[in-house]
């Protein structure tokens, strides 16, 4: 009996690596600490009622934010481990298989479990406030999306200590990711982690399209909508069309592994390149999904901090919509070297380059907005200024990669690595950080400390260039991606060492941010409703910070683009908008079903990973049971009476 | 529901707007489902010739079976429409009758599909035989799973109808169900055309 | 919580009056669908046409039947304006066609390689 338990544990848990034992211990300690704190302060009920069952978009946004920052930490640690291994030739810090696992989880986590949730955090924190709505179209579904994301992320992360991490690259190309190449459970964790969170992403896409199209404040015509909301709309449209492709691609890989199908295997007539073709049909739109909201964030910030209307509003909208559609016509540039015909490569080279045009339009618009503006350089604007040159270089090297014949030289080299980090960090991460700095006071009611923010900004930025510029040259010198070590004779040592220094600088930048948040929680300046010096232009700045649960006591009547700016202008001229009558506010009730259902999804994923049929059945029954429970519940909403609204507003210093 | 805070008319108004959002969202779900099937079709079309020396569609597909399936599903699509017509005429019993007809036709369709799959497996043509058969079973099977889910959904809705009658909420649910059912018929048309007809020609 | 966009400007409660087809339109749709199903069957089972001709008939009747069901059964020409669902559907079809045709085109390299 004891022996069989021992055998099971030796298979089940990852063993034999001191790094992982360290992680085991720290995970156990942190879990115990959390349980202890919650019990000691009697916070279990609070956790359940205020967070686990909430359907409030603001709280869901905050939960996404916390989760994504944790994932940024984990992905960042992965990156630092890799850079340590590569700092000098012949380092024996990591073994080859461990290195494989680390670059795989780094990529997967950073794109799917860091960038995506950070994006959803911003969607949730901002969009309803910006369009004058009291919640999203489907608050219940919104909560479900979050919990599905979290359970998916947990499933992937648990592979670190249980069963073994995936190690076939962040997109897991077959045949390596097939049973023949990856017999372990890591690959199944990967499939189910992404599948489960992918359902959530698709639901969020649908949710926000409907929210934006149908729930805007009266008078807010589409062409009067703030640009961030436009960018969310374009990203969600792309999600709607792209994520089903990912679901199917991974499902087919799962069928190969679980039921012995032959989609992508080497035998049985399978075609592994079909996987590459399919996954990039999702993968390419995916990078636009994450970068489009960043474009929207910059548009808001540039206008606010230049104290000017955004230059070329219509061209901005047009550019984003063009990008979101064009993104579906460029996927082959990820595998020009496959050996497809010259016609195919030429076609996709041209479509790829065409995307540079709308992107260039946007850059010029931002620059023209700043031109002759009275710019104030606070954190959000700093990150925006950091973004523009960085993204420009990333875009230019992207066009270089788009030249199909030249790509045979760059393909899978560090040149490519440098390029996509430049657009993903320079574009996406800088964008989201700018957005978090910008909207933080709105959601939390206090500002983040500027001084520590500046240190964070400069270490991040300088670190970025120190880290990734050498990699372009390493790529041109012939260093390919995913090598875990190299010899002195290659002559790559100096550049690699520089790169590692840059990576650690970015790590220090992140620590500054942690310090900044910790410091500001205690000493941060209280934020007013219009938190950025009264320069806010859009509706979210017209309500208190943090907003009450119903956001708007009365639904605003919109007349202009940047309506809040015009309200303030009119007020200065002595023109007041008429006060509106308060009415009882219709709100959704909290529900435990999203959390419960997502937990059952976790069981399904875990069961499939370990081939435990009983667990799959329990999980699947739970999922369907939850669906039915929801379908049969008709008491899902409530009203906040007028008196209560008046009282809440009075406490926030506003009279009605 | 706390109707005492607002009048029933105001509450009804909120409910209607809420339900119209859900219909809009459901349309988007159907569009995403179109993409899901689109990807499966792409895989099927690319892999259809990869029989790995095993049987091809021409040798495997039984004409009477898939012709019968097609008419069953087409008719059930029609009857689900009739249920919606009854709903608009506010005739609860007629509506439930046509929903049950839809269910039965759907179940008959599923029965044929399962029989087909079982026969194929007995002939030694299973999901692991060749890339072509992997793609075939997955494409047709995914549609079958959709039909199965639809059947359970419809049963659930019939219970809700009996409990709540025809209200704004149940109306929206039935309308969305019928959209889903028509959608499955449309997908089947393409399965019938691309998989079966092109398979046996 | 409530939707209140400009698209709702023209009077509330109009969801009630949506006329989702009539018995006549459903019946017409049903009959046309049957005809469009039978045509390719006849062509295929009796070998009436060349390979290309047959493929063309199958695809054209399938697409026609798609349209028939969309209009007669799913009533995409009704509902609130602007018809976002139709826009989404059209874009969806464009992308589906891209996926299918693109995959065939891109993967045709395989026949050269093998």
Mean pLDDT of A364-382: 92
pLDDT at A551 over 90: yes
Tell me the nearest-neighbour CA distance from A207 into chain B, angstroms. Answer: 7
**C101/C91 same-domain check:** yes
Q: Categorize the per-residue pLDDT at C11 as very low, low, confident or very high, splitting at 50, 70 and 90.
A: very low
As given in the structure block, the two tokens for residue A442 are: 């709105």
The confidence score (pLDDT) of residue A3 equals: 85
Which of A140, A205, A213 to mutate against chain C (most C CBs within 10 Å)? Answer: A213
Q: Which residues of A touch B40 (CB under 8 A)?
A: 248
Q: Categorize the per-residue pLDDT at C19 as very low, low, confident or very high, splitting at 50, 70 and 90.
A: low
What's phi and psi for A162, nearest 5 deg? -120, 120
Could you say which DSSP state residue C70 is in? Answer: I
Query: Number of folded domains in chain C?
Result: 2
Nearest Cβ partner of A270 from B10, B24, B131? B131
pLDDT at A111 over 60: yes
**CA distances (Å), origin C71, targets A178, A360, C67:** 44, 41, 6
pLDDT at C113 over 80: no
Place of tokens 């369907």: A624
What is the enclosing helix (H) or strand (E) of A249?
A: helix A227-259
Task: Return the percentage of chain A with pLDDT > 70, whole number.
Answer: 100
Q: Which residues of C touch A139 (CB under 8 A)?
A: 1
Three-state SS across C85-105? HHHHHHHHHHHHHHHHHHHHH
Beta bridge partners of A13: A162
What is the ipTM score, two decimals? 0.95
Q: What is the CA radius of gyration of chain C?
A: 20
pLDDT at C61 over 80: yes
Nearest Cβ partner of B21 from A205, A210, A271? A210
What's phi and psi for A586, nearest 5 deg? -85, 120
Q: Which residues of A touch C95 (CB under 8 A)?
A: 241, 328
**C34/C8 same-domain check:** yes
**C92/C108 same-domain check:** yes
As given in the structure block, the two tokens for residue A269 are: 């007539």
Q: Taking the alpha carbons of C46, C50, C54, C60 in that order, is the dihedral positive or negative?
A: negative
**C6/C24 same-domain check:** yes
Angle between helices A96-108 and A186-214 (to 10 degrees): 10
Q: Taking the alpha carbons of C32, B28, C95, B128 in that order, is the dihedral positive or negative?
A: negative
Cis ω before A623 (30° cut-off from 0): no
**CA distances (Å), origin A231, targets A120, A276, A385, A393, A603:** 12, 28, 19, 22, 35
Q: Categorize the per-residue pLDDT at A37 as very low, low, confident or very high, splitting at 50, 70 and 90.
A: confident
Q: Which residues of A touch C106 (CB under 8 A)?
A: 277, 332, 340, 344
Nearest Cβ partner of B31 from C74, C89, C107? C89
Instruction: Check CB contact under 8 Å for B127 and A259.
Output: yes
Mean pLDDT of A169-182: 93
**In this predicted model, what pLDDT tens digit does every residue of B140-175 receive, in sequence order?**
999 999 999 999 999 999 999 999 999 999 999 999
Report the distance separating Cα C82 and Cα C67, nearest Å: 20
Query: Number of folded domains in chain B?
Result: 1
pLDDT at C109 over 80: no
> Residue B99's domain is classified under what CATH number?
1.20.120.80
Task: Return the percentage of chain B with pLDDT > 70, whole number.
Answer: 98
pLDDT at A639 over 60: yes
Beta bridge partners of A629: none
- Contacts of A629-633 with CB under 8 Å at 24 or more apart are A629/A593, A630/A140, A630/A591, A630/A593, A630/A597, A631/B153, A631/B156, A631/B157, A631/B160, A631/B173, A632/B156, A632/B159, A632/B160, A633/A591, A633/A593
Q: Which residues of C touch B43 (CB under 8 A)?
A: 103
pLDDT at A230 over 80: yes
| Length of chain C as a residue count | 114
Task: Return the percentage of chain A with pLDDT > 90, whole number.
Answer: 84
Report the distance separating Cα A546 and Cα A648, nearest Å: 12
The confidence score (pLDDT) of residue A15 equals: 73
Instruction: Provide the number of CB pairs (under 8 Å) joining chain A to chain B.
Output: 132
* B:26-85 residues touching chain C, CB 8 A cutoff: 27-28, 30-32, 34-35, 38-39, 41-43, 45-46, 63, 67, 70-71, 74-75, 77-78, 81-82, 84-85
**In this predicted model, what pLDDT tens digit does every residue of C32-57 receive, in sequence order?**
999 999 999 999 999 888 999 999 99
Instruction: Check CB contact under 8 Å for A213 and C110.
Output: no
Mean pLDDT of B71-87: 95
**CA distances (Å), origin A95, targets A50, A82, A92, A484, C34:** 45, 11, 7, 8, 64
**In this predicted model, what pLDDT tens digit does every residue of A442-496 receive, in sequence order?**
999 999 999 999 999 999 999 999 999 999 999 999 999 999 999 999 999 999 9
**In this predicted model, what pLDDT tens digit does every residue of A558-614 receive, in sequence order?**
999 999 999 999 999 988 888 888 999 999 999 999 999 999 999 999 999 999 999
Q: Which residues of B touch C1 (CB under 8 A)?
A: 14, 18
**C56/C32 same-domain check:** yes
Instruction: Check CB contact under 8 Å for A325 and C2.
Output: no
**C52/C91 same-domain check:** no
Closest CA to C71 of C82, C56, C86: C86
Mean pLDDT of A14-42: 81
pLDDT at B1 over 50: no
Angle between helices C84-107 and A227-259 (to 10 degrees): 50
Closest CA to B88 of B170, B155, B171: B171
The confidence score (pLDDT) of residue A525 equals: 87
**C43/C94 same-domain check:** no
Tell me the nearest-neighbour CA distance from C102 into chain B, angstroms. Answer: 9
Q: Which residues of C touch B27 (CB under 8 A)?
A: 84-85, 88-89
CB-neighbour burial class of residue A608 (10 A; exposed 0-12, middle 13-18, buried 19+): buried
What is the torsion angle, in degrees rounded to the nearest 10, for the CA atoms of residue A128, residue A134, residue A135 and residue A138?
A: -120
pLDDT at A51 over 90: yes
The confidence score (pLDDT) of residue B156 equals: 95
Instruction: Check CB contact under 8 Å for A268 and B28.
Output: no
Q: Categorize the per-residue pLDDT at A7 as very low, low, confident or very high, splitting at 50, 70 and 90.
A: confident
* Chains touching A by CB (3 or more pairs below 8 Å): B, C
* Chains touching B by CB (3 or more pairs below 8 Å): A, C
Beta bridge partners of A526: A446
pLDDT at C17 over 60: no
**C4/C26 same-domain check:** yes
Could you say which DSSP state residue A41 is in? Answer: T
Report the distance separating Cα B34 and Cα B186, nearest Å: 10
**CA distances (Å), origin B30, targets A80, B33, B39, C45:** 43, 5, 14, 33
**C50/C73 same-domain check:** yes
**C42/C28 same-domain check:** yes
The confidence score (pLDDT) of residue C110 equals: 58
pLDDT at A368 over 90: yes
Q: Which residues of B touch A240 (CB under 8 A)?
A: 28, 31-32, 35
SS3 of residue C52 by DSSP: helix
Q: Categorize the per-residue pLDDT at C112 as very low, low, confident or very high, splitting at 50, 70 and 90.
A: low
**CA distances (Å), origin A539, targets A371, A445, B25, C1, C35:** 25, 16, 25, 16, 55
Mean pLDDT of A644-648: 92
Q: Is A248 an interface residue toward C (CB < 8 Å)?
A: no
pLDDT at A212 over 90: yes
The confidence score (pLDDT) of residue C81 equals: 74
Place of tokens 């006591």: A553
The residue among A161 and A428 whose pLDDT is bigger is A428
Tell me the nearest-neighbour CA distance from B121 into chain C, angstroms. Answer: 25
Closest CA to B197 of C37, C63, C30: C37
CB-neighbour burial class of residue A490 (10 A; exposed 0-12, middle 13-18, buried 19+): middle
Report the distance separating Cα A578 and Cα A574, nearest Å: 12
> What is the phi-psi region of residue C75: left when phi exceeds 0, alpha when psi lies from -120 to 50, beta otherwise?
left
pLDDT at A275 over 80: yes
* Minimum Cα–Cα distance from A586: chain B residue: B14
As given in the structure block, the two tokens for residue B126 are: 């299973």
**C102/C113 same-domain check:** yes
| Lowest mean pLDDT segment, chosen from A27-36, A180-189, A411-420, B101-110 | A27-36
Q: Which domain holds residue B32?
A: 2-200
Report the distance separating Cα B9 and Cα A424, nearest Å: 51
The confidence score (pLDDT) of residue A23 equals: 78
Closest CA to A361 of A334, A393, A322, A326: A322
pLDDT at C15 over 80: no
pLDDT at A189 over 60: yes
The residue among B1 and A617 whose pLDDT is bigger is A617
Is the distance from CB of A20 to CB of A160 less than 8 angstroms?
yes
Instruction: Check CB contact under 8 Å for B131 and A243.
Output: no
pLDDT at A369 over 70: yes
Could you say which DSSP state residue A138 is in? Answer: -
Which of C10, C19, C20 to mutate against chain B (most B CBs within 10 Å)? Answer: C20
SS3 of residue A413 by DSSP: strand
The confidence score (pLDDT) of residue C27 equals: 93
Strands A637-640 and A585-588: antiparallel
Cis ω before A283 (30° cut-off from 0): no
Q: What is the CA radius of gyration of chain B?
A: 20
Closest CA to A204 of A145, A254, A259: A145
**C2/C13 same-domain check:** yes
Is the distance from CB of A123 to CB of A63 less than 8 angstroms?
no
Closest CA to B129 of B194, B201, B66, B56: B56
Q: Which domain holds residue C16?
A: 1-80
């Amino acid at each position: 009996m004891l022996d069989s338990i021992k055998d099971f544990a030796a298979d089940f848990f990852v063993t034999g690596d001191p790094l992982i034992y360290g992680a085991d211990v720290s995970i156990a300690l942190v879990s115990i600490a959390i349980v202890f704190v919650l019990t000691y302060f009697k916070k279990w009920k609070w956790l359940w009622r205020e967070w686990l069952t909430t359907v409030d978009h603001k709280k869901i946004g905050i939960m996404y934010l916390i989760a994504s920052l944790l994932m940024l930490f984990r992905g960042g640690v992965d990156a630092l481990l890799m850079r340590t291994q590569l700092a000098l030739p012949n380092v024996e810090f990591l073994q080859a298989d461990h290195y494989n696992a680390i670059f795989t989880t780094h990529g997967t986590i950073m794109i799917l479990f860091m960038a995506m949730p950070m994006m959803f955090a911003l969607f949730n924190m901002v969009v309803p406030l910006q369009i004058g709505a009291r919640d999203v179209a489907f608050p219940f579904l919104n909560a479900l999306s979050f919990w599905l994301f979290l359970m998916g992320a947990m499933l992937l992360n648990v592979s670190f200590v249980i069963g073994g991490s995936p190690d076939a690259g962040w997109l897991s190309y077959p045949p390596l990711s097939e049973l023949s190449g990856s017999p372990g459970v890591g690959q199944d964790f990967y499939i189910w982690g992404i599948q489960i969170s992918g359902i959530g992403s698709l639901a969020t896409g649908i949710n926000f399209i409907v929210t934006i199209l149908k729930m805007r404040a009266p008078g807010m015509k589409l062409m009067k909508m703030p640009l961030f909301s436009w960018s969310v709309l374009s990203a969600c449209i792309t999600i709607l069309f792209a994520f089903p492709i990912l679901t199917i691609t991974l499902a087919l890989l799962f069928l190969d592994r679980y039921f012995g199908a032959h989609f992508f295997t080497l035998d049985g007539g399978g075609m592994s390149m079909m996987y590459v073709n399919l996954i990039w049909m999702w993968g390419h739109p995916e990078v636009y999904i994450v970068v489009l909201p960043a474009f929207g964030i910059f548009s808001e910030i540039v206008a606010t901090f230049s104290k000017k209307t955004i230059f070329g509003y219509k061209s901005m909208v047009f550019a984003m919509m063009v990008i979101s559609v064009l993104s579906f016509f460029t996927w082959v540039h990820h595998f020009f070297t496959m050996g497809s015909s010259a016609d195919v490569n030429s076609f996709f080279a041209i479509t790829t380059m065409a995307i540079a045009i709308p992107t260039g339009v946007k850059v010029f618009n931002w620059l023209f907005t700043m031109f002759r503006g009275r710019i104030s350089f606070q954190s959000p604007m700093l990150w925006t200024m950091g973004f523009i040159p960085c993204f420009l270089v990333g875009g230019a090297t992207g066009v270089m990669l788009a030249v199909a014949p030249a790509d045979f030289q760059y393909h899978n080299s560090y040149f490519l690595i440098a390029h996509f980090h430049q657009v993903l960090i320079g574009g996406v991460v800088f964008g989201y950080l700018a957005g978090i700095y910008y909207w933080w006071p709105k959601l939390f009611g206090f500002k983040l400390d500027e001084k520590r923010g500046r240190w964070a900004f400069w270490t991040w930025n300088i670190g970025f260039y120190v880290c990734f510029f050498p990699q372009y040259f390493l790529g041109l010198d012939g260093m390919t991606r995913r090598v875990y070590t190299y010899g002195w004779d290659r002559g790559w040592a100096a550049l690699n060492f520089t790169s590692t220094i840059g990576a650690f600088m970015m790590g220090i930048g992140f620590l500054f941010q942690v310090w900044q948040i910790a410091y500001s929680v205690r000493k941060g300046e209280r934020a007013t409703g219009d938190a950025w010096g009264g320069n806010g232009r859009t509706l979210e700045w017209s309500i208190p910070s943090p907003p009450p649960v119903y956001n708007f006591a009365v639904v605003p009547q919109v007349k202009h683009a940047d309506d809040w700016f015009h309200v303030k202008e009119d007020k200065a001229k002595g023109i007041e908008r008429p006060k509106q009558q308060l009415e009882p506010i219709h709100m959704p009730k909290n529900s435990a079903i999203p959390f419960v259902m997502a937990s059952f999804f976790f069981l399904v994923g875990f069961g499939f990973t370990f081939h435990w049929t009983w667990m799959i059945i329990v999980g699947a029954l739970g999922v369907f049971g939850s669906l039915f429970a929801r379908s049969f519940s008709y008491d899902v909403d409530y009203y906040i009476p007028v008196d209560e609204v008046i009282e809440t507003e009075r406490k926030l210093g506003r009279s009605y | 529901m706390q109707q005492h805070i607002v009048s029933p008319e105001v509450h009804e108004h909120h409910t209607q707007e809420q339900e119209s959002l859900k219909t809009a969202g459901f349309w988007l779900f159907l569009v995403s489902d179109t993409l899901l099937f689109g990807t499966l079709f792409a895989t099927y079309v690319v892999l259809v010739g990869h029989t790995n020396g095993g049987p091809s569609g021409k040798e495997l597909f039984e004409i009477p079976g898939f012709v019968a399936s097609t008419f069953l599903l087409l008719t059930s699509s029609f009857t689900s429409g009739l249920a919606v017509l009854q709903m608009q005429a506010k005739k609860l019993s007629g509506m439930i009758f046509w929903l049950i007809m839809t269910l039965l036709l759907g179940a008959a369709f599923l029965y044929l599909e399962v029989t087909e799959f079982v026969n194929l497996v007995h002939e030694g043509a299973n999901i692991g035989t060749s890339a072509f058969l992997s793609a075939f079973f997955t494409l047709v099977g995914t549609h079958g799973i959709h039909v199965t889910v639809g059947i359970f959904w419809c049963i659930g809705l019939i219970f809700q109808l009996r409990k709540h009658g025809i209200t704004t909420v149940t109306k929206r649910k039935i309308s969305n169900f019928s959209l889903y059912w028509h959608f499955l018929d449309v997908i089947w048309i393409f399965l019938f055309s691309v998989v079966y007809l092109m398979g046996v020609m | 919580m409530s939707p209140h966009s400009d698209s709702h400007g023209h009077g509330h409660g109009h969801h009630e009056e949506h006329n989702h087809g009539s018995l006549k339109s459903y019946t017409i749709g049903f009959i046309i669908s049957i005809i469009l199903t039978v045509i390719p069957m006849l062509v295929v089972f009796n070998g009436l046409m060349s390979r290309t001709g047959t493929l063309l008939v199958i695809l054209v009747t399938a697409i026609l039947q798609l349209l028939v069901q969309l209009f007669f059964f799913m009533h995409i020409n009704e509902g609130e304006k602007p018809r976002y669902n139709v826009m989404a559907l059209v874009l969806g079809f464009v992308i589906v066609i891209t996926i299918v045709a693109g995959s065939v085109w891109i993967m045709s390299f395989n026949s050269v390689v093998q």
